[in-house]
Amino acid sequence: MAQVDIGLYTPSHAEVDGQIQPVLIPERRWYDALLSGEGDEPIHRWTVKVFQDLESETADTDCWTWTAAHTKDGYGVFHLGGQKAQAHHVLWALEFGSPPAFVYGPNGWERVHLGHQCHDRDKTCVGGPTCLHRACVNPEHLALQSASANVRAGHAGEHERRKTHCPSGHAYAEHGFSYADPSGTTRRYCRPCKSGFRAPQFVGSRKNLAVAA
């Protein structure tokens, strides 16, 4: 559950995770510029950076591929109103309004993501910065998702299970094993990291974990 200063946002309602829920919308200079009456110039600049040809690598899902700058996580970047926006937000916002930052659900306030449903449908894609769907800006492929729903839809668990080494490069087959944390989630455990320089990450809920010899 996120700690949110509600006074910094505009309260509203939006369809998140398929149902109308209370949301908080931040001020965005790029969105104000989009609606400022500058004519078609922003949309023209945006459109020329999009690849909508049948030769697109993701043509089988009708994705619109962003061809200009990307973040290190693989999302398109568009500059508008002196501010950096994620490219897939722009055309979606023109039709549905500025995307909310938080949604209030069963677990309190959660972050909101404009999730790529084209990725969610592609069970062969494990995600990550090289995921081609992250470069998709087709508004028909997007939907507002709470942070928890976005993680579940993004095949994050499958992506983690396919890893063979810990972040420090130790082979799980040689140095690690799996365990269930207090929430019941299965996690990977690395002995060298636990006893070495990454030890601080194992405090708190994991400090009483019984480690096999």
Tokens (6 digits) for 123: 């069970």
pTM: predicted TM-score of the whole model, two decimal places: 0.70
**159 and 119 in contact (C-beta within 8 Å)?**
no
**What is d(CA 180, CA 187) in angstroms, rounded to the nearest whole number?**
6
Tell me what pLDDT residue 123 has: 79
Element (H, E) at 137: none
**What is d(CA 166, CA 127) in angstroms, rounded to the nearest whole number?**
18
Token pair 């006893």: residue = 195
Instruction: Please list the pLDDT of the chain residue by residue as tens digits (213 residues).
Output: 567 888 899 999 999 999 999 999 999 999 999 988 665 688 889 999 998 665 656 555 688 999 999 999 999 999 998 999 999 999 999 999 999 999 998 878 999 999 999 988 887 887 788 888 999 999 999 999 998 888 777 655 555 556 777 777 788 777 777 666 665 556 677 777 776 654 444 443 444 444 443
Element (H, E) at 159: helix 156-161
Q: Kindly report the number of other CB atoms within 10 A of residue 213's CB atom.
A: 3
Q: Kindly report the number of other CB atoms within 10 A of residue 57's CB atom.
A: 10
Tell me what pLDDT residue 156 has: 53
**141 and 50 in contact (C-beta within 8 Å)?**
no
Tokens (6 digits) for 162: 């396919």
Cα–Cα distance list, 138 to 15, 37, 59, 124 (Å) = 18, 23, 12, 20
**What is d(CA 95, CA 142) in angstroms, rounded to the nearest whole number?**
12
Tell me what pLDDT residue 56 has: 59
Cα–Cα distance list, 95 to 108, 118, 179, 203 (Å) = 28, 19, 46, 46
Q: Kindly report the number of other CB atoms within 10 A of residue 33's CB atom.
A: 17
